[in-house]
Structure 1
Amino acid sequence: MTSVVHPSLGHTIRVADVIAETPDASSIVLDVPEDLADRFTYRPGQFLTVRIPSDRTGSVARCYSIASCPATDDRIKVTVKRTSDGYGSNWLCDNITQGSSLHVLPPSGTFTPHDLDADFQLFAAGSGITPVMSILKTVLATSAGSVALYYANRDRDSIIFDTELADLAKRHSDRLTIEHHIEAETGLPTPDSLARFAGAHHDSNVFVCGPAAFMAMVKETLTSIGYDRHRIHIEEFRSLDGDPFAPVKAVVADAQASTVEVTLDGDTHTLPWPADATLIDVMVSAGIDAPYSCREGECGSCACTLVEGTVDPGNTDALDPDDVADGYILGCQARPTSTNLKIEF
């Protein structure tokens, strides 16, 4: 096997601005050059994978959500909140200034609405507001749907985008409802407060981002009051141990290789799929712009549906058990165990 260089291995982008959002959170605005504009087209709720220097390992990769709106903002903005033991977040907040450069993968992620022309219930806690903000702004800018945001924070000083949210609430008072839940004033969020906020809007699309315990409480509460679990979308980030920026190895098919039909962005590709290769390796080797970020089964960017055939799914930690039951697999982990397969992204 030989190494192949693929565009998804990253690009070095200049930082146009750094905005202090709160004492421990900053937004990094990127100046994407015109010749990369197509590669950095994004959907609300997606993220960027950033390469961060490390004295121990050379570099580490971290995922940060995009907070900007693709419909109204000229530049991509990611927001980073310091955590006490977060190497990546602290390095970015301490070292990145206007004029710096970041090495990043193109936008990725599945925490994004398929249909913006609907009503939305959004739940965020802490820095979980970042992808939710992108969704909120895009819905308000491009559709006629209503948006209700439940936003939990430790105290008033911790509210990221506080001024911008207040301005949006004024400009869209007929469509946007915001409830701030402040732990220092009313304690931690409870199922009762979540249920009261959610009400009976069972047809709304629900997007939830924040600490794991918060997201689990929201999902359990909403399903208990009649929400369809398929309408509840959860965003989870995990630290990446590997190097998603490393070259992908070219796949060499043999006579025993399976055959897979992969549908991506409306195009169907028929490819040989050797038993020892992942689907992402096969697609990238064929020159297909496959969606992936971590290549470890941790981020969910390469989630797809197994329509026909069987696979060894590998690590599926990034998938909800309900998603696995519905036939979702991870392209960076799956290996074929049947002769013919069909997969849809």
Structure 2
Amino acid sequence: MTAPATRTKDGLSLETSVAIPVGSRGRQRRRGGATRHVVAPLAFIAVAVVLFCLFFVWPGALGLLYSFTDYRGVGSMDFVGLENYVDLFGDADFYASLGRTVLYTALSVPAHYVVSLGIAMLLTSHAARGKGAARVIFFLPWLISPIVAGVIWKWLFGENFGMVNAVVSMLGADPLRWETDPTLALVLILIVSTWGSTAFNMLLFIAAIRNVPQSYLEAAELDGANAWQRFAHVTLPLLRPTSFMVVLLTTIGSMKEFAMVQALNGGGPGTSNMFIVQYIYRTGFERADIGYASAASMVLMVILIVIAVIQLRFDRRNDLS
């Protein structure tokens, strides 16, 4: 491609023979497009990084700093070194709340897994009817605030005014002590937490079940496998990545359970069902010992990291085998 002719002062035309490479404009456009494709992702990533640093890294660093001080929420703070951690590891209330949290997690994870997987299997079954309405019904609890859910279930299971005990009394049995019996109070927490958290795990399982190749199930059926055998030997192994994610998220969520328990029974009766996050809350805000509560928060964070790393390595070992 050549440049257009130019004219001299005498009016004579002078042909220029400067050649412009044909592909140069294309390369310039590609460079401009490539720049836009690079800038846009970087802009989105930058926003995410800023928000992560602002709401996660900065509070975490501040909590780590407080854990080495005697800060009480107001006034100045003095550096005390590892004193908070030494006192924490000698605190019987801390071990009691941590043990109750571990017990609750050990009971909660299987309950969440079985219920959410069972509902997902029912909602993806070809024989089921009314699946659209059922999805909405099962998903509604996830939209309700844990505080509101705790208040609703507290009203349902109240010892003196609860609807459940009213029905039990009508059937001729003695009312159950949902608020004053530690074991029944823990059972109630398990029921409410499973009811409220099933929806999210159910959606994960539904998406994974729909990705199971139908040819595998049809081949197993032709080989004479019944419905349970097809589920146990075909569907369930293919759901392992989703199962791992559900177990990991449920474990971390159960270890951090707070709002629903606080609204339901406040960790009662007494402190028998006080979980670790409630212990941190009471220490930091009711006793105004921010430094000591921050040390407990750091210990909880380390425990959660260890749990996540162990589960990740276990899942990776299964993949290699």
TM-score for the superposition, normalised by structure 1: 0.20
Which of the pair has the greater relative contact order for Cα pairs under 8 Å at 6+ separation? 2
Higher strand share: 1
Larger Rg: 2
Higher helix share: 2
